[in-house]
Structures are given as structure tokens and as C-alpha cells.
Chain A
Amino acid sequence: GAVVSQHPSWVICKSGTSVKIECRSLDFQATTMFWYRQFPKQSLMLMATSNEGSKATYEQGVEKDKFLINHASLTLSTLTVTSAHPEDSSFYICSARGASSGSGELFFGEGSRLTVL
């Protein structure tokens, strides 16, 4: 099946710094990517929808200036957590849908665990 890869799988940073997470579709072109966040013992929450070549669409309550999303190519989307604080510590997961996704499912990355000290 299609593969979506995230990097890094985990990262620890100091409060106030910025962290970039990459999401790549390895064997298909992803016109649309989605970014989710998951806090411990909770379900995934959609943060934003990223479309190649256009601005991301953010869900209500998600600060677009804090969570910068760039989808510059059909195989790469990045999420940058700017001026990270301990409350941003979470499991960030991306998913991708192909340009001609015949079966309809979304493919998810392995997730990136962010810990802000």
C-alpha cells in the first residue's frame, strides 16, 4: 500500500524554539494532506488541511501563525510549530490522499512526538 513517512519521529526542544515536522508521500503524489494532533489518551483532532500550491485551511481554534503549514510539492508537506511551549507537547500525525486515490482511504504517517521542555 501507499506509504506516508514523517520525520522526525520524536523531538525534544526548549520552550520558545521552533520545530519543523516533515510529511512525505513516498510512492504517490498527494494533492491533499491533513495534519492531526493527539494528546495522551485522547483521539486525533484535525488541525488543518494542506493543499499543494495553496494556503492551508485551519480548523477552528488552531492558530495559523503558530502552526505554519507548507505544501510546496506533491510529495511534501511541513508543519512548523513556532515558539513552542510545553502545552504544544503532543503527537502530531499527518495523512495524505493521492491525486487519483481510487480506494478512498487516507494513508497516515507514523506520527511525530513533540516534547517541549
Chain B
Amino acid sequence: DAKTTQPTSMDCAEGRAANLPCNHSTISGNEYVYWYRQIHSQGPQYIIHGLKNNETNEMASLIITEDRKSSTLILPHATLRDTAVYYCIVSTYGGSQGNLIFGKGTKLSVKP
């Protein structure tokens, strides 16, 4: 699987948008971009994923550049409960090869 590069940590004010960047310059054509987050001492939680087009769900938006070499996860109105480590992962879709390889992620701290 392609590797990703994320900032180690970020701060965000409560109520403001949190924009988390991710570089994946060696992504293959059949690899998706997945975002998960892990709140302390819990299992990872799925947020969103996409291939080429921008995606939005009730949790977040995912913006993927046209060349697919980078993406941004946007939490539109961050709350204190969004404090977590956010992982950007590229992986093929489905099947036993579709396991996720976690990097170090970005530790997002939402401050009041």
C-alpha cells in the first residue's frame, strides 16, 4: 500500500473548521483514501473514504486533489469530542487485501 504523510499534531478552536491534510503522492489508481480516527483507548472509528470525487457525510468532508496525490479531511464545526488521532490511509477496496496499514496519524486537539 502507498504511504501517507500527515502532520504530527494540529490544534483547532472549538466551533471552527478543522482541516487535516494528507499527502499520498504514490497512490495507485485502484487505491482509495480512507480516514479513520481513534479517540484515546478506543478502537478506530471510520469517518469517510473516497476514490476521486470529493465526498461528504454527516461527520466530515473529504477533498481529494485532481491528481489524487493529496487530500484534506474537513470537520466543519469541531467540538471537544473531536479530539483524537486522525489516520489517513490508502488501500485497495474490499477483499482480504483490503486491510488497513496505519501510519502515525495527526493528533488533533480541539480547544475551548
Residues of A within 8 A of B (CB): 1, 4, 6, 32, 34, 36, 43-46, 49, 51, 57, 91, 93, 95, 97, 101, 103-111, 113
Contacts and interface: CB of A to CB of B under 8 A. Distances in A.
A9 to B, nearest CB: 10
B68 interface: no
Interface residues of B, number: 24
A71 to B, nearest CB: 11
Interface of B: 32, 34, 36, 38, 41-46, 49, 87, 93-96, 98-105
Contacts, number: 61
Given A32-B96, A104-B93, A44 B102 contact: yes
Contact of B44 (A6, A93, A97, A104): A93
A49 to B, nearest CB: 6
Nearest to B98: A97
B46 A107 contact: yes
Contacts of B36: 108
